[in-house]
Structure 1
């Protein structure tokens, strides 16, 4: 069973506080991988004023738990944290936090890369970008994200 901290929330997160919570009372952690995703201010040369993120409650949490459990098993993690925000966010705002704690740095870094790659391609989130000119569109899946996630497939 996964020991991961998984949250989907409207509110921002405090990266330092989340690292402190992950490592509290632990002397066996040798490395922590960290990824923070933020809202960019443009897409394809078009200024972005906001991004709205939606999810399917219940399904999304189960998907994140499965992704975390896979990472914990592959890299014998000592803990991990997945936090993803939903709602309307403006450029510069935090979207996602991925932390992976392991006895050694390489496992922590590899697990972090795996977690964000699979989160981007396997978690049910939908993103709509709103542009300065009043236009908006739903963000489509990117081939580059699929290719990044595919490197973690077991054969």
Structure 2
């Protein structure tokens, strides 16, 4: 699933990811997991709002997981808002204050700090927003189709 790199703990990662998704759904945003971006990166959670706002959440399950991953600034070009999501035991002081912060567990989450960057400076260009929204729509539809018909697309 998400973020099973060096130092990651799968059960902690899944719990935080689930809580992040519950948080976004409670705010009427639509979360999508493991979204490949055009630059080759993959967002742990990408959430879309009704107005087209895009948030990317980087899930960190441990200090080792955070320290092993220095690519988070690459995500800023693909979203309007960026957040780290961690569990209750994570030492928050390690995270940069230049990003948003979500505390989550398997039951839900809270935004402890919104992305501090000025919204006017972080808005995606219209073309990139459209391409990303279409990518999310196609990815979500493809995943749903695979659930409905797991054999679809396989050579007979």
Which category of TM-score, normalised to the shorter sequence, fits these structures?
Answer: 0.3 to 0.5
TM-score (norm 2): 0.36
Give the number of the structure whose residues are more often strand, by fraction: 1
More helix, by proportion: 2
Return the structure number with greater relative CO, CA threshold 8 A, min gap 6: 1
What TM-score does the superposition give when structure 1 sets the normalisation length? 0.36
